[in-house]
Amino acid sequence: MTAVTVEGRPPAAGREIFGHPRGLVVLAGTELWDRISFHGMQALLVLYMVGQLFLPGHIEQIVGFMGFRAAIEAVTGPLSTQALASQIFGVYVGLVYLTPLFGGWLGDRWFGRKAMVTLGAVLMTAGHFCMAFDQSFLLAMLFLILGAGALRGNLIPQVGELYRQDDDRRDVAFQLYYSMINLGAFIAPVVTGALAQAYSWHVGFGFAGVGMLVGLLVYLGGQRWVIPVDPRRAERIAKAPLTPEERRRVVALLCLMPVAALFWIAQSQVWNTYNLWVRDHIQLGIGGFIVPVPWLQALDGLAPFICLPPMLMFWRWQAARGREPGEFIKAGIGCLIFAASTLLLAVAGFTADTSGRSSLLWAVAFHLTSNLGWLYFTPTMVAIITRSAPAQVSATLVGVGMLATFFGSLISGRIGGFYEVMTAAQFWSLHATIVATGGLIFLVIGWRFAGAYGLKARAPARP
C-alpha cells in the first residue's frame, strides 16, 4: 500500500527503502540520538545525585536547591538523600513524558513540527552542557524537560503520518522505530558509564549533549525524505471540529492512560532505584574488572535487538493462521511478561553469597525477559494511539499518551523511597503485582470491550 501523510499528499517516487518510506530512516535516526541523550542521563542521574551532587560540599552550590527541596518535602515529608534522589528522578522523567503533550499541541496548532523539533534539540543540548556545573543543575533539568517536550511531542507523530491509518505496515514501522530507541539505550549507558568512571560525571553528561547535536543535524539534513505538510490542508484539519465518533475515540484513549501507567510504574523504577539495587546487591566483579553499574542499563538496548526478529516472525506465523492477538491482548501479554521478569529481582536475593551479593546473571536474565515484555507493550500502545487518534489532534494525543509515563514515573519516585525500609524481595514483588494488574486489565479490554469506540481490537491478517 502506498504511503501518504495524514494531510493526504502522495509521496514522491523512490521514497521507500526495504518496503518503508525513507522518512522513517530519518525520523528513527533522529530518535536514536535523542535516546542517547536521554538514556545517558537515565543511566547516571540517580548515581550522580547520591554519589556526589547531594553530598556536603556540592549540594550547597546548587542555585535554588534549598527552595526546590522544601517544595518537594512539603508534599512528601522529610526525605533521606536516597529518597530525595529517587523522587527528583521520578519528577524529571515524569515531566520529560508530560511536556510532549504541550509540545505536540504547539506543533499541531502554532509553530509546526520542524520548528518544535529543532527548538527541542537546541534546549536539550544546552541542558546537557549545564550539567557540567553543580550550580546549574536545576537549570539543566529545566532545559532538558522543555526540550524533550518540544522534540518528542512532534517527532513520533511524523512516523504515523508516513502511512495510511489502514496500512498494515504501521505496527512494524513502530517496531523498527523503537529499535532505534533501544539502540540509543544500549550505546548511551556504555559510553557515558565508561566516561563517568574513567573521568568524571560531567564528561559523561557532556557526551549526551554532543549526541543531541548530531540528532539535530540528522533531522535537518533528512528533511527532503520527511513528507512535507501542506499548510493549507493542515490548517483545515486543525480547525475541523471533532465528530461524535471521534470524541468517543478520544475519551476511550484517555481512559486507557491510568491502566498504562501501571506498566510505567515498574519500568520507571528500572531507570531509578534499580541502579542502587545493582550497586548494593549484585556481584559486579569479573576477574579484576568491575562492571560499571550503568552498563547493565545498556542491556535494555541490546535485548530488543535479540528479541525483536523472532518476535516478529512469531507474530507473522500467528497472522498466517489467523491467530495473531489484537493490540490490547499484546499489551496485556507485555505487562505479564514484565511482571514475571520483575519477580526475578525479588528471587535473586535468596541466592546471595556470604557478602550479600547475587550473581550478575540474575540481572542479565531480568533485562532479557523484561524487554520482551517492553516490545509487546510499548510500540503496541503507540500504534493504538496513532491509529485511533483523530488527525487534527494526533500529536496532542501522542503527548496525552505520555501522561501514563508521567504518572508512572511520579509514583515510582515516591515508591523508590521504600527501598530503604523494605527488603529487596518485598520491593520488587510490589512492582510485579502492580504491572501484572495492568496486564490483566488489558486482557479483559481485549477480550470483551476493544471493539467499542472504534478502537482496533484485532490485528489485521497479513498475506
Taking the C-alpha atoms of residue 54 and residue 56, their distance in angstroms, rounded to an integer, is 7
Is residue 159 in a domain?
yes
Is it the case that residue 218 has pLDDT exceeding 50? yes
Is residue 282 in a domain?
yes
Per-residue model confidence as pLDDT tens digits over 9-55 = 444 444 566 667 777 888 888 888 888 888 888 888 888 898 889 98
For cell 503527548, the residue is 399
Is residue 252 in a domain?
yes
Write out the three cell numbers for 376.
509487546
pLDDT band at 358 (very low <50, low <70, confident <90, very high): very high
Contact 226/158 with Cβ under 8 angstroms? yes
Is residue 25 in a domain?
yes
Which of 47, 52, 301, 303 is closest to 189 using CA atoms?
301
Taking the C-alpha atoms of residue 72 and residue 75, their distance in angstroms, rounded to an integer, is 6
Total structural domains within the chain? 1
Is residue 459 in a domain?
no
Partners of residue 358 on adjacent β-strands: 282
Taking the C-alpha atoms of residue 258 and residue 247, their distance in angstroms, rounded to an integer, is 19
What's the average model confidence in pLDDT over 244-273? 87
Per-residue model confidence as pLDDT tens digits over 157-216 = 787 777 766 676 776 777 778 777 778 878 888 888 888 877 888 888 888 788 888 888
Is residue 12 in a domain?
no
pTM over 0.85: no
CATH number at residue 428: 1.20.1250.20
pLDDT band at 286 (very low <50, low <70, confident <90, very high): confident
What pLDDT does 165 receive?
64
Which strand (E) or helix (H) includes residue 440? helix 424-444
Per-residue model confidence as pLDDT tens digits over 399-414 = 677 788 888 988 998 8
User: In sequence order, what DSSP letters do the residues of 32-55 get, joined into one string?
Assistant: HHHHHHHHHHHHHHHHHIIIIITS
Which of 313, 303, 424 is closest to 366 using CA atoms?
303
What pLDDT does 17 receive?
65
Which of 384, 386, 403 is closest to 442 using CA atoms?
384
Question: Residue 314 is part of which domain span?
Answer: 20-454
Per-residue model confidence as pLDDT tens digits over 296-352 = 888 887 887 788 788 888 888 888 888 878 888 899 999 999 999 999 999 998 888
Taking the C-alpha atoms of residue 452 and residue 455, their distance in angstroms, rounded to an integer, is 6
Per-residue model confidence as pLDDT tens digits over 74-91 = 988 888 888 899 899 889
Indicate the DSSP class of residue 358: B
Is residue 391 in a domain?
yes
Contact 412/90 with Cβ under 8 angstroms? yes
Write out the three cell numbers for 321.
493462521
Which of 368, 373, 369, 215 is closest to 302 using CA atoms?
368
Partners of residue 290 on adjacent β-strands: 285
Is residue 296 in a domain?
yes
Residues whose CB falls within 8 Å of the CB of residue 244, separated by 6 or more in sequence, listed in order: none
Write out the three cell numbers for 377.
507493550
Three-class secondary structure of residue 447 per DSSP: helix
